[in-house]
Structure 1
Amino acid sequence: MARGELRIFLGAAPGVGKTYTMLEEAHRRVERGTDVVVAFVETHGRKHTQAMLADLETVPRCTVEYRGAEFTEMNLDAVLARRPEIAVVDELAHTNVPGSRNAKRWQDVQELLDAGIDVLTTVNVQHLESLNDVVARITGVEQRETVPDAVVRAAEQVELVDMTPEALRRRMAHGNIYRPEKIDAALGNYFRTGNLTALRELALLWLADKVEDQLGKYRADNNIDTTWETRERVVVALTGGAEGDTLIRRAARIAARDKGADLMAVHVTRNDGLTGADPAALSRQRVLVESLGGTYHQVVGADVPRALLDFARAVNATQIVLGVSSRGKLAQLFAAGVGVTTTAMSGSIDVHLVTHERAAQGRRAQRLPAALSRRRRVAGFAATIAGLPALTALLHVGPSLSLTNDILVFLVAVVGVSLIGGLWPALLAAIAGSLLLNYFFTSPIGRFTIAEVDNLLALAIFVVVALAVSWVVDTAARKTRQAAEAGADAQTLATVAGSVLRGDRPLIALLDRLRETFALQSVTLLEDGAVVANVGDTACTVAGEADAEVKVNDHLKMLLRGRPLEASARRIVEAFAAQAAVALRQERLSAEAASARPLAEADRMRTALLAAVSHDLRTPLASAKAAVAGLRSADVDFDDNDRGELLATADESLDRLDRLVANLLDMSRLQAGALGVIPIDVGVEDIVPRALDDLGPDGRTVAVHIPDDVPLVHADPGLLERIVVNLVANALRYSPAGQPPVVTASALGDIVEVRVIDHGPGIPEDRWNDVFLPFQRLGDRDNHTGVGLGLALSRGLTEAMGGTLTPEETPAGGLTMILALPAS
């Protein structure tokens, strides 16, 4: 069975018309003869949306009972049994009521798709998982319901339902989105013009990425490698030379001309692994690219222009930035160079050749490293000086051979010398061997002349072959040594990168790794002359105290003490230094994030506090004020019953206000660490009755079972009473009629456990910790009583007295709060 297709109508905010547009599409499908049913649509009382449902078949919803209330959800089984061609399912990110078949509606949609049913659905950009935190920062409202981006990206079609912020606010003001009592609050908060503009841009950018993915897949499926200029992408080619910084900044300026253009830096490494690029320079340039908002890439290829263009076409680049060749004019006569070759092969991609200080100045001559050790070269010269005369004598006293055989024997000797000592001993052996062959074995014997042309040709071939073999052997030895050094450098640099990524203090780990790698006494990082970090012995503070100095940038430099650095080791140390700058920046960003986290948490707490207490402060104040105002009024004569009721209302309201303020103050003291705790030995059987009395008539319904042999607890009596009041009040709120909470106590070793048991709907185990968060009313559909501080405050007070407060499932259903305190 073929899987169904998913079409999503994406909006930037509620009210842009996603559901209406989806229903319009449903009507179009019906007119074409397609079997369409409405599985679930939420109209939110909008008359135009309700009118669109009139002519569409709707599958009746199912009813789910949760915590004594009934809720309606999409009847997934009924839709699957109906098996329409298309199902209309609104609000993809919706969280189903506990007890439903799936936790999320998008999971219901997946089942419909698996059954071969096409689905039309809606979602707002703020419900996308990847944008959840971004939307929260913009609007100040955290979205609890989210849908994974992968679900939306997997849709065959995603259609943006767009509306300008001004038009959306007009719709809101005309009452087309929310009920009249909510309009002013919405316009002044979530639906501010700035918020809507930002959400609209997020939706457009997210959809652009989705379209980009679809375009990339289409190009790959159809083997299209030409550039489609749908979006500016600037690729800058880096060689690891000093001109890299100039090229990167130039490319960044080109990319900045088009808002949203991508900047990508690429370095082509030759596939023999023996690149001449400076790893330290590449590390610094990578940091520069990333600081300018670009990305760094590295590809491997034998042909640099072709590898560069293959990368550019793969990412659909529109422009390439290259540096003008640094080779001299003479060298450019024999080879066009990377820049010219790339330009000739670029096709539709624009190529910018950027001049720089070293343009056309010629490459600096590099001293080739010795292929073999000095000992082996000495051994090669010794073999030449001693071996060739001995070989000549052996051929004289032995059986007579032809000149051809004599040449072959000498050729073997030259090859042997090249294997022992490399190029220069083999070159000496070839020249000396040709002279010995000429003098002792070529007619006329005993003279450095050659009588026959064949003998001259044979000796010439001997010299050429001997030199060629020597060069090949020497080159192979040099490449082997370079490969070994490159492998060691790569392993060291990989360790450097790992040091930055791992550990709490990457900078110290990196400097310590540098000290160990090069057997140094100390490594010091200075910033504008001040010591930032040091490992090993006493830190160096001036260059004169160090054996080596490496400049990182204009502000940072690294001083090394222990031994002078070899030229080959300095490149690796410079790579370490570049990574040290990255590690330092990473540590500082982490420190800034850590310092900002308490401020953000405090701001979140303040926002939550204002949102939570605004209603709960006003309600008791308004009730008390109304009661007192009524009693003071001279226009109304109250009898004794009315007067008593008004006084009772004022008293109850002020008691509620007093409890609220007390909870808030205690929570503030807890968070500030200023709560005074005076523990003494006290009996649980004395505390619980007083706590129940504080709860008034409701407290007298609670069943209490405390054995006489329960030991005293070591606790603050006032705080313990507050804890019990909060726990019992919470249990009363969720206990069903006829099943009041139960309070029990028992001893367990040196711990006394007080259990507050209710038989309400309970809480899923994975949400137990959430009930202790301030300003949370878990599972409440109506959050108009209390600010959700009770359990958070109770746990804080318990821990302040050295105890614990943990939830547990009530065996017969419900939740049990276990208050554990140390026994006397």
Structure 2
Amino acid sequence: MSILGRRRADLRIYLGAAPGVGKTYAMLGEAHRRMERGTDVVAAVIETHGRRRTAQQLAGIEVIPPIYIEHEGTRRPELDVDAVLARRPQVVLVDELAHANTPGSRNAHRWQDVEVFLDAGITVITTVNVQHLESLNDVVSHITGTAQSERVPDGFVRAADQIELVDITPEALRRRLVHGNVYPPEQAAAAMEDYFRPGNLTALRQLALLWLANQVDAALEKYRSDKKITDTWETRERVVVAVSGGPESETLVRRASRIASRSGADVKVVHVIQGDGLIAISPQQRKVIRELAASLGATMHTVVGDDVAATLLDFARGNNATQVVIGTSRRSRWARMFDEGIGAQVIQQSGNIDVHMVTHPEAHTGSSWSRQSTVRRSVLSWLVALVIPAAICAVVTWLPAGMLGIGSQSALFFTGVLLVALLGGLGPAGVCALLSGLLLTYFLVSPVHSFTVYDSDSVVTVLVLLLVALAVAALVDWTARRAGEVRRAAQEAELLASFADSALRDADPTLLLERLRETYTQRAVSILTAEGSLLAAAGPDPCADVDAADTAIEVGDHEFWMLMTGRTLTARDRRVLSAVAEQAVAMLTQRH
């Protein structure tokens, strides 16, 4: 199966944690199996290092003689690229992928020779040790105390169609050394006390396993994306913990880390920014949580969505998470009677994802009307607009006759209208005012049980009640809209701060695009020149055509485009994206 879907000839790599684990032997065994099936196989480079069993495996395989390069008075054998291309086999064996060629060779590195074969349509089987991977070179040098000058780019190895780990326990490898199957006996004793110490071999083995596990994760993620699979596959434990930025956030992150440590799971900390900006996190809080997550081996992510529960679960499914950790509600028992809360919604919609509800000192400390969902606030506002006038009318009717005059009664209804305006805005307040006027006229103004009013003072009182109540409701509604705009501005500022922080820390436009893709749940993000040249991209199959993009944002003076594939974004999202796109283009221009 292809790791990243190469379109050239196939590349198969045998990966080892250390010399002597049996990579070359395994490669030769694969060559014999293919030859038995009728495949044309040749060996371009095979390093036996004097190992008898490896040399025996080479028997029966055609070997392309090396080419000798003169350098500093010596003749050194190197892979003869032209001879292999002229022979043009179906499969070529190339040992020691990270080898640095002698100056004067066709290419500076052997992995570049392999690229030539792949471009020519020749399948390559090769070997490499984990200490030669570019990303692990310094780590291995620190562990073993031996610097490795020969390296191969991780991207080249990741692009292989097949990567097979040749694994052996440290004890078994040291026995091979003792028996002389790795180095000559005179070298084996020194090697066992130096590079091949048990601790070194265990660490190298773990590095190889972890590196390959990440490659398998990448292959699985691409397959799920290509096949549009959203169900969770429990191939590996992953824990997503949701934080709001409140005082309980650190408790949740630590709890999630303890849950993950039991199964060696990855931890992702996610903060959901609501579209109305109601739940925000300050830069100071973000810094504290990010540093805590980093200290626990977790990563922090930010996503945008109006529905917090759905957005959180979409993120979890997109990352193939198996567990979600959330805090218990801070709202009181009375508030939960009207709105069950995000936690209950997550549990109901989680499907086969396990949900952990974590208690904390802030649980059940109170409620905020602003934390109610938009739909629930609207429904409750209209319900209150109907209930409050009826309740006031019932109370006033129950009181002894003559206890309250028309002015006092009107003031009570006026207060009810103000309350509804604060909760629901102009629409519910208008209905409440109209209903209050009708109830006041029918039940409390003489003659009762009739809409006929003979007293001019009562008529003026009722009309003034309606007009003043509506005027105040309009003012309250305008204030609420302005507050909403402020909250949305705060949301945009939080997003921009998050992206600016990422740009300053990573200084990599590709990582910035990856943050954009993740935050807005897009499949891919790309930046193109006006002529259509791809400058940077994140995600599978990035869009290279403005007309084919789901969201297209012009950057600069018709010079660049940022294209997105995925859900279509709102105009408010585009404002933020335009600013971030300008930053990404500036980073690309500066790097160029």
Normalised by the length of structure 2, the TM-score is 0.67
- Cα displacement (A) at 1:472: 3.8
Out of 92, 95, 100, the residue aligned to residue 97 of structure 2 is 92
Report the CA distance shift for 1:496/1:362 in structure 2 as closer, same or farther (over 3 A): same
- Whether the aligned pair in 1 keeps the contact of 2:97 and 2:110 (CA below 8 Å) is yes
Question: In the superposition, relative to structure 1, how do residues 201 and 171 fare at CA in structure 2: closer, same or farther (>3 Å)?
Answer: same
1:637-656 equivalent positions in 2, closer than 5 A: none
Q: 2:120 aligns with which of 115, 122, 144?
A: 115
**Structure-2 change in CA distance of 1:224 and 1:243 (3 Å):** same
1:309 aligns with 2:317: no
Asked whether the 8 Å contact 1:443–1:450 carries over to 2, the reply is no
Match of 2:365 among 339, 361, 370: 361
The structural deviation recorded for 1:78 is: 1.0
Mapped pair 1:4 → 2:9: yes
Q: In 2, distance between residues paired with 1:33 and 1:445?
A: 109
Which structure would you say has the larger Rg?
1
Structure 2 residue corresponding to 1:350, chosen from 329, 338, 354:
354
Deviation digits for residues 547-604 of structure 1, max 9, x if unmatched? xxxxxxxxxxxxxxxxxxxxxxxxxxxxxxxxxxxxxxxxxxxxxxxxxxxxxxxxxx
- Per mean C-alpha deviation after superposition, the further-off stretch among 358-367 and 308-317 is 358-367
What is the CA-CA distance between 1:462 and the residue it aligns to?
7.3
CA RMSD of aligned residues (A): 3.5
1:288 corresponds to which of 270, 289, 292: 292
| Pairs within 5 Å for 1:266-285 | 266-285=270-289
- 8 Å CA contact 2:273–2:491 kept in 1: the answer is no
Secondary structure at 1:267 match in 2: strand
Shift in CA distance, 365/139, structure 1 to aligned 2, threshold 3 Å: same
Aligned to 2:169: 164
Match of 1:323 in 2: 327
Map of 2:193 onto structure 1? 188
**Identity of paired residues, percent?**
53
Shift in Å at residue 310 of structure 1?
0.7
Does the 8 A contact of 1:241 with 1:278 survive in 2?
Answer: no
SS in 2 for 1:121: strand
Rounded Cα–Cα distance in structure 1 between residues aligned with 2:467 and 2:230: 52
Q: Deviations over 1:481-522 (max 9, x none)?
A: 4445665677778888888899xxxxxxxxxxxxxxxxxxxx
Q: Do the aligned residues in 2 keep the contact of 1:26 with 1:36 (CA within 8 Å)?
A: yes
Separation in structure 1 between the aligned mates of residue 356 and residue 329 of structure 2, nearest angstrom = 12
Matches within 5 A, 1:474-513: 474-484=479-489
- Alignment partner, residue 199 of structure 1: 204
The answer to whether the 8 Å contact 2:280/2:490 transfers is no
Q: Tell me which amino acid in the other structure corresponds to 1:24.
A: G
Counterpart of 2:255 in structure 1: which amino acid? R
Alpha-carbon separation, structure 2, partners of 1:159 and 1:496: 38
Judged with a 3 Å threshold, the aligned counterparts in structure 2 of structure 1 residues 330 and 13 are, in CA distance, closer, same or farther, namely same
Q: Using the alignment, how far apart are the partners of 1:108 and 1:500 within structure 2?
A: 36
2:43 corresponds to 1:38: yes
The correspondence for 1:447, drawn from 456, 461, 468, is 456
Match of 2:536 in 1: none
Aligned residue number for residue 127 of structure 1: 132
AA of the residue aligned to 1:286: R
SS where residue 206 of structure 1 aligns? helix
Structure 1 window deviating more from structure 2 (62-71 vs 21-30): it is 62-71
Cα distance in 2 for partners of 1:365, 1:278 equals 21
Return the match for 1:251 from 248, 256, 267.
256
Offset of 1:283 from its aligned partner?
A: 3.1
The 1-side partners of 2:247 and 2:481 are apart by 30
Distance of aligned partners of 1:331 and 1:188 in 2 relative to their CA distance in 1, 3 Å threshold: same
Question: How far apart in 1 are the matches of 2:474 and 2:14?
Answer: 72
- CA distance in 2: counterparts of 1:265 and 1:64, whole angstroms: 55
| SS at structure 2 position matched to 1:272 | coil
Q: 1:263 to 1:471 in 2, by over 3 A?
A: same
CA distance in 2: counterparts of 1:28 and 1:486, whole angstroms = 61
Q: Do the aligned partners of residues 365 and 27 (structure 1) sit closer, same or farther apart at CA in structure 2, a change above 3 Å counting?
A: closer
Contact 1:242-1:281 at 8 Å conserved across structures:
no
Q: Match for 1:16 among 12, 17, 21?
A: 21
* AA at the equivalent of 1:347: G
C-alpha spacing 1:491/1:178, structure 2 compared with 1 (3 Å): closer
Could you list the per-position Cα deviations for residues 122-154 of structure 1 after superposition, in whole angstroms to 9, with x for gaps in the alignment? 011111111111111111110110101111111
Task: Please give the secondary structure, in 2, of the residue aligned with 1:310.
Answer: helix
Would you say the 8 A contact 2:283–2:497 is kept in 1? no
Q: Report the CA distance between 1:90 and its aligned residue.
A: 0.7
1:327–1:361 contact (8 Å) kept in structure 2? yes
* CA gap 1:492/1:324 in 2 versus in 1, 3 angstroms: closer
Q: Are the aligned partners of 1:112 and 1:118 in contact in 2 as well (CA < 8 Å)? A: yes
Query: In 2, are the aligned partners of 1:239 and 1:277 still within 8 Å (CA)?
Result: yes
TM-aligned CA distance change 1:185 to 1:327, over 3 Å: same
Q: Which has the higher contact order (CA 8 A, sep 6+)?
A: 2
* 1:709-728 equivalent positions in 2, closer than 5 A: none
More divergent stretch after superposition (291-300 vs 277-286)? 277-286
Change (3 A) 1:308 1:498: closer
How far apart are residue 326 of structure 1 and its match?
Answer: 1.0
Q: How much does 1:354 deviate?
A: 1.1
Which secondary structure state, in structure 1, belongs to the residue aligned with residue 164 of structure 2? strand
Runs of 5+ in structure 2 lacking a partner? Answer: 1-5, 372-420, 442-450, 508-592
Separation in 2, partners of 1:240, 1:491: 17
Q: What are the within-5 Å matches in structure 2 for residues 255-654 of structure 1? A: 255-259=260-264, 261-363=265-367, 447-448=456-457, 469-484=474-489
* 1:144 alignment counterpart: 149
Offset at residue 48 of structure 1 (A): 1.5
CA distance in 2 between counterparts of 1:248 and 1:59 reads: 58
For residue 193 of structure 2, what is the amino acid of its counterpart? G
Kept after mapping to 1: 8 A contact 2:170/2:198: yes
**Distance verdict in 2 for CA 1:218–1:484, change over 3 Å:** closer
1:329-354, CA deviations, whole angstroms, 9 ceiling, x for partnerless residues?
A: 11111111111110111111111111
Indicate the residue corresponding to 1:239 in structure 2.
244
Deviation at 1:27, TM superposition (A): 0.5
Find the aligned partners of 1:53 and 1:141 in 2 and give their Cα distance: 30
Cα contact 1:240–1:279 (8 A) shared by 2: no
1:102 is paired with a residue of what secondary structure? coil
User: Judging changes above 3 Å, is the alpha-carbon distance between structure 1 residues 352 and 494 closer, same or farther for their aligned structure 2 residues?
Assistant: closer
CA 1:118/1:464 → structure 2, altered by over 3 Å: closer, same or farther?
Answer: farther
Q: CA–CA distance in 1 between the matches of 2:229 and 2:485?
A: 40
- State the alpha-carbon separation in 1 of the partners of residues 89 and 109 from structure 2: 21
Q: 1:38 to 1:312 in 2, by over 3 A?
A: same
What does the per-residue CA deviation read over 1:703-740, in whole Å, with 9 as the maximum and x for residues that have no partner? xxxxxxxxxxxxxxxxxxxxxxxxxxxxxxxxxxxxxx
Counterparts of 1:74 and 1:447, CA distance in 2: 109
Deviation string 1:522-547 (CA, Å, 9 cap, x unpaired) is: xxxxxxxxxxxxxxxxxxxxxxxxxx
Contact 2:280–2:494 (Cα < 8 Å) also in 1: no
Whole-Å Cα distance in 2 between the matches of residues 148 and 499 of structure 1? Answer: 25
Whole-angstrom distance in 2 between the partners of 1:248 and 1:158 = 35
Kindly tell me: are residues 185 and 118 of structure 1, through their superposed partners in 2, closer, same or farther at Cα, counting changes over 3 Å? same
Describe the SS at the equivalent of 1:317.
Answer: coil
Equivalent residue letter for 1:242 = P
Counterparts of 1:4 and 1:146, CA distance in 2: 23
CA contact (8 A) 1:11 1:162 kept: yes
Distance 2:354 2:493 in 1: 39
Aligned residue identity for 2:82: D
Cα displacement (A) at 1:61 = 1.5
